[in-house]
Structure 1
Amino acid sequence: MNLFRREPSRRPVEDVDLDSLLALVAESLGYSFEFARDGSAVTLSADSGSLAVKLTGLRREAGRRAREDWPMLVSEHLAHAVATAGERVDVCDLDQVRSLLRTRVEAVDEIPDLTRVVGRHLNADLVELLTVGARPVRPEESGCWPVPTGQALDLAVANVRGRERLRSEYIELSGTPVTRLTASSPSAATHLRWLAEYLPVPADGVLVALPDPYTLLVHPVDGIGVVRAIERLRVHAARTDGLSPQVHWWHGGRLTLIRADIVTRDGQTRLVVAPPPDFARVLARLAV
């Protein structure tokens, strides 16, 4: 009679399966491995030394992803941990990186996989990414933190505001006056939240062009001359071939695309504007 029956594992089957993948990938990278008793980390060992890799964020991210994504997720996580082993800062430690959190605005089309970055949309075409220094934070890194993603982004936004002020100057685009606001970091659009600190903002908001992540071109929506301003900003943004070739409307804390296409027909070039309904109503009122 066997009096020493083995207790079944109380760990979720998902964690056990993820550990099996971690073990396979670790071995493929040439490491032996040892998991922490609570599964929060794995220590990779080789002749060159050992490396502790935190797994809390990885497990959370795996819980949000389909199982067929797990091999790629695990492989990227361990490869990234090995590649950044010499960095002084542990991005999984919020206390270490809190003061380094920043934002960077990118075109959605320029990001190969939005599931591999942490951020939020400014609109359908632009996304505000969470970064530590110059590089985007990975979901499995922010998943280690004791705060939700939205709060982490708010910390980054506060850092941007506290550590940088935009440079402001007035310029003309083919006779149309605009304000150019320039940042030293690729987070100029983050400063739209505090635009009133730089120039008067009318009740109907402002037009915004984002020729690159460091620059905002702004024109007030305060008269029918705004139609000419849309044309000037759109043509300028298209020439720069930067962050966004379109013009946007900043109003009520939201950045809304004003679709404007440059159309050439019979040798003539013209701008075809398709404003969103709310902005169309503003134009109709201003035209009276």
Structure 2
Amino acid sequence: MGLFRRRPRRDGRETPRDPAFGYFSADEGARFRTLVREAFAERGLEVTVYADTVTDSAGRRFGLTNLAAVLHHDDRGRRAWPDLVHQHVGMVLRTMDEPSALDTLSTEQIRSQLYPRIVGADAFEAENFGYARSPAPGLYEIIALDLPESVMMLTDDALRPLGDLRYLREQALYNLRGLPVESHETIRGEAGMRFEVVVGDSFYTASRLLALENVVRETTGEELTPDGALVAVPFRHQLAFHVIRDASVVPALNAMASFAATGYVDAPGAISPCVYWWHGGRLTGLSARDEDGEGLRIVVGEEFQAVLERLVGGV
């Protein structure tokens, strides 16, 4: 999982665009859906293909958004698409056809495979997750069951037999802290701008913001300051942070706002285009979408403004 994903050589933006996935040309979108139909047919399923979903004769619906984003960002280009689609469809069907892990695993096994997962509001169905926490506007924390080929986001009904919710969350956080950091890179720029990025194939990379103290210590060997840190979670495989120590927080905030907005666009598992202030375990939004949804603006409240004035002076 690269930090800056190289765009494969594909049809130019001047060609007609796909109506559902604008990063595809119309021809690429048609090719993508043909590959999906063929992959299902190879497994004995005839499906009806719509713009962003397919359905089979039993009425099961399969979303295409994440798969399309995976293909879009794969730096091998269209030559890799057949294998990626084939693998994805096979995984989805195996997961659906196998008995539920909630019925085959013991309670202790399930608890050992629980992880907290941060998701964005656009991918969240609140009616099934009444227990979910919202650590910041646009973010939700739920509990997921990690399986060899998939991740099961656990609903209220799924969690209820497993025990006390507070205990289950503590167990999930304990499991999260035990995950290794797959890759860490430092981004530097002018005026002392610097921020850190943790990247990985794990579906819980972004969720590590819930254990930020551990991540900072493990990747930099340092501790968080009383002023906290800037954090961003553009998509599920990426966590960016800047420990607030001095006036470099200003260029870091501007750079991270651009970084988060760019990483969020069309990403598999997109979470948020915003930057947040982590302080004392709380998250406060520092950027927000414009009303037209086309851009972002920096939004600084009184509490963070006081930090800036102390560190920079007269901001």
Measured on the aligned residues, the alpha-carbon RMSD in Å equals 3.0
Residue 119 of structure 1 is matched in structure 2 by: 132
What amino acid does structure 1 have at the position aligned with 2:144?
T
Aligned match for 1:156, one of 164, 172, 196: 172
- Corresponding position: 1:140 with 2:147: no
Residue 220 of structure 1 is matched in structure 2 by: 243
Q: Partners in 1 of 2:104 and 2:308 — Cα distance?
A: 47
Asked if the contact 1:248–1:257 (Cα under 8 Å) also holds between the matched residues in 2, the reply is yes
The offset of 1:87, in angstroms, is 3.5
Q: Partners in 1 of 2:100 and 2:291 — Cα distance?
A: 50
Residue 258 of structure 2 is matched in structure 1 by: 235
The offset of 1:193, in angstroms, is 4.3
What's the TM-score, normalizing by structure 2? 0.56
Q: How does 1:158-197 map to 2 (within 5 A)?
A: 158-172=174-188, 176-188=193-205, 189-190=207-208, 191-197=211-217
Asked if the contact 2:181–2:198 (Cα under 8 Å) also holds between the matched residues in 1, the reply is no
Asked if the contact 2:136–2:285 (Cα under 8 Å) also holds between the matched residues in 1, the reply is yes
Aligned match for 2:275, one of 247, 268, 281: 247
Q: Partners in 1 of 2:290 and 2:259 — Cα distance?
A: 12
Partner SS state of residue 161, structure 2 = coil
Aligned-residue identity in percent:
25
Q: Partners in 1 of 2:104 and 2:131 — Cα distance?
A: 13
Unpaired runs of at least 5, structure 1: 1-82, 265-269
Partner SS state of residue 103, structure 2 = coil
Q: How does 1:24-43 map to 2 (within 5 A)?
A: none
Q: Partners in 2 of 1:96 and 1:263 — Cα distance?
A: 46
Asked if the contact 1:104–1:187 (Cα under 8 Å) also holds between the matched residues in 2, the reply is yes
Partner SS state of residue 168, structure 2 = helix
Cα 1:92–1:118 shift into 2, 3 Å:
farther
Cα 1:272–1:224 shift into 2, 3 Å:
farther
Partner SS state of residue 127, structure 1 = strand
Residue 18 of structure 1 is matched in structure 2 by: none
Aligned match for 2:287, one of 259, 273, 280: 259
Q: Cα deviation per residue 1:171-201 (whole Å; 9 max; x = unaligned)?
A: 2367732111124322233332423423332
What amino acid does structure 1 have at the position aligned with 2:300?
P
The offset of 1:85, in angstroms, is 6.8
Q: Cα deviation per residue 1:221-251 (whole Å; 9 max; x = unaligned)?
A: 2222322221111112112223211111111
Partner SS state of residue 219, structure 1 = strand
Partner SS state of residue 130, structure 1 = strand
Partner SS state of residue 169, structure 1 = strand
Partner SS state of residue 181, structure 1 = strand
Asked if the contact 1:263–1:272 (Cα under 8 Å) also holds between the matched residues in 2, the reply is no
Asked if the contact 2:287–2:296 (Cα under 8 Å) also holds between the matched residues in 1, the reply is no
Asked if the contact 1:118–1:136 (Cα under 8 Å) also holds between the matched residues in 2, the reply is no
Q: Partners in 2 of 1:284 and 1:234 — Cα distance?
A: 20
Q: How does 1:2-13 map to 2 (within 5 A)?
A: none
What's the TM-score, normalizing by structure 1? 0.61
Q: Partners in 1 of 2:249 and 2:196 — Cα distance?
A: 14
Cα 1:85–1:118 shift into 2, 3 Å:
farther
Partner SS state of residue 218, structure 1 = strand
Cα 1:287–1:174 shift into 2, 3 Å:
closer
Q: Partners in 2 of 1:223 and 1:162 — Cα distance?
A: 31
The offset of 1:92, in angstroms, is 8.7
The offset of 1:205, in angstroms, is 1.2
What amino acid does structure 1 have at the position aligned with 2:126?
D
The offset of 1:255, in angstroms, is 1.9
Residue 303 of structure 2 is matched in structure 1 by: 278
Greater relative contact order (Cα < 8 A, sep 6+)? 2
Q: Partners in 2 of 1:224 and 1:163 — Cα distance?
A: 32
Which protein shows a greater Rg?
1
Asked if the contact 1:90–1:97 (Cα under 8 Å) also holds between the matched residues in 2, the reply is no
Greater fraction strand: 1
What amino acid does structure 2 have at the position aligned with 1:142?
L
Q: Partners in 2 of 1:93 and 1:157 — Cα distance?
A: 20
